[in-house]
Amino acid sequence: MENKEALSTLNEIKEMMEKSSRFQSISGWSIVVVGLLASVVSAAAWLLLLPHADMAWLPACCSGLLINSPWRSSIAILVALLLLVVSFSTVAALSLGKMKRQKGAVRFDPSLRRCLIHFCVPMLAGGLLCLAMLQQGHYGLTSTFMLVFYGLALINCSHYTHSSIAALGYVQLVLGVVDCFVVSHAILFWWLGFGLMHVVYGFYFIAKYERQKGL
């Protein structure tokens, strides 16, 4: 009996140490919002950047947004940067609000710093690579690199936050690899990865981590 109690105590201590070394304040609703934002951007890109049989419904001022136009790469870069800023701001605001409810104050503790560093390094490398490809006119594999590096960033930071985030990262990796073998469906894979998968995982995250704890 004493051995069982000692083992139980050790397991509890181990669990507490693991929780203290991981950032636990990610908001599930922020993940859902990011997916919805990405879905809206994907729909807009499909309408404005892809050639359709009949584009007469577009106003004259939007004709420069069509594929192969000189504005295409500039619009793609600006939209991607805007989505990144809005998404990061949404995740930060909702997650910090959750941290304040949990701990009574916002604290940039070592677990949060480690999580951010291990997420941002692959994202920065991938972002610079995609920017270089767009500037040189190599559009074909841009969505692939976005998905792959984002997946690597999620897997990398999952060691310092909820481990299930790694599953979302592996899904992004698979979509990115498949995307590089499929021609002319970049926006579809971009939506599947950044849009649909975020919404699905966000609701899973809410059900598993937040509803059970009343957060």
What pLDDT was estimated at residue 183? Answer: 74
pLDDT band (50, 70, 90) for residue 64: very low
Whole-number Cα distances in Å, 44 to 38, 107, 196: 10, 38, 15
What pLDDT was estimated at residue 46? Answer: 74
Rounded distance between C-alpha atoms, residue 146 and residue 141, angstroms: 9
> Regarding predicted confidence, which is higher, 2 or 24?
24
Which pTM value belongs to this model? 0.76
What pLDDT was estimated at residue 3? Answer: 57
pLDDT tens digits for range 148-167: 999 999 999 888 888 889 99
What pLDDT was estimated at residue 65? Answer: 45
Q: Which two tokens stand for residue 42?
A: 């994907």
Rounded distance between C-alpha atoms, residue 105 and residue 178, angstroms: 43
Percent of the chain with pLDDT strictly greater than 70? 68
214 has a pLDDT exceeding 60: no
Residue 175 corresponds to which amino acid? L
Rounded distance between C-alpha atoms, residue 211 and residue 205, angstroms: 9
* Residue 193, C-beta contacts closer than 8 angstroms, at least 6 positions apart: 147, 150, 171, 172, 175, 176
* Residue 36, C-beta contacts closer than 8 angstroms, at least 6 positions apart: 195, 199
What pLDDT was estimated at residue 98? Answer: 75
User: For all residues of the chain together, what is the average pLDDT?
Assistant: 76
> Regarding predicted confidence, which is higher, 37 or 78?
37
Three-class DSSP labels, 62-119 = HHHHCCCCCCHHHHHHHHHHHHHHHHHHHHHHHHHHHHHHHHCCCCCCHHHHHHHHHH
Hey, how many other C-beta atoms are within 10 angstroms of the C-beta on 136? 9
Contact predicate 162/26, CB 8 Å = yes
pLDDT tens digits for range 190-211: 889 999 999 999 999 988 887 7
Q: What is the mean pLDDT of residues 112-123?
A: 87
Q: What's the full length of the chain, in residues?
A: 215
Per domain, the residue ranges of the chain are 27-92+108-210
Whole-number Cα distances in Å, 184 to 43, 53, 79: 15, 16, 20
* Residue 177, C-beta contacts closer than 8 angstroms, at least 6 positions apart: 144, 148
pLDDT band (50, 70, 90) for residue 53: very low
Least confident of 50-54, 147-151, 175-179: 50-54
> Regarding predicted confidence, which is higher, 160 or 7?
160
